[in-house]
């Protein structure tokens, strides 16, 4: 390797190490939102499957259970008149 390639490699390594050092300080992970979504998904899936009258209604219930937050927000906006 010549000097220019060596210098570029060293700079990239330093930049990578610097970004990795600050990366952990900037990201904060709070995992409770995923747990709430999963519990809501299970509850919605149970509700829609137990109230479905046919197989197709069960598939629609699966779709609704996956996207239950969107239906919740839509219903809230409709209730508030927004």
Distance CA 20, CA 11 (A): 14
Give the model's confidence band at 67: pLDDT under 50 very low, under 70 low, under 90 confident, else very high: confident
79 by Cβ neighbours in 10 Å (0-12 / 13-18 / 19+) ranks as exposed
Q: What is the mean pLDDT of residues 29-47?
A: 80
- The whole-angstrom separation of Cα 79 and Cα 72 is 11
Under the banding of pLDDT at 50, 70 and 90, the label for residue 38 is confident
Reduced to 3 states (helix: H, G, I; strand: E, B; else coil), residue 7 is helix
pLDDT band at 77; cut points 50, 70, 90: very high
Q: How confident is the model at residue 27, as a pLDDT? A: 57
């Amino acid at each position: 390797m010549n000097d220019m390639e060596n210098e570029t490699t060293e700079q990239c390594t330093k930049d990578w190490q610097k970004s990795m050092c600050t990366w952990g300080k900037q990201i904060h992970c709070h995992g409770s939102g995923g747990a709430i979504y999963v519990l809501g998904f299970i509850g919605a899936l149970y509700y829609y499957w137990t109230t479905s009258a046919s197989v197709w209604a069960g598939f629609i219930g699966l779709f609704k259970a996956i996207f239950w937050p969107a239906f919740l927000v839509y219903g809230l906006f409709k209730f508030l008149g927004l």
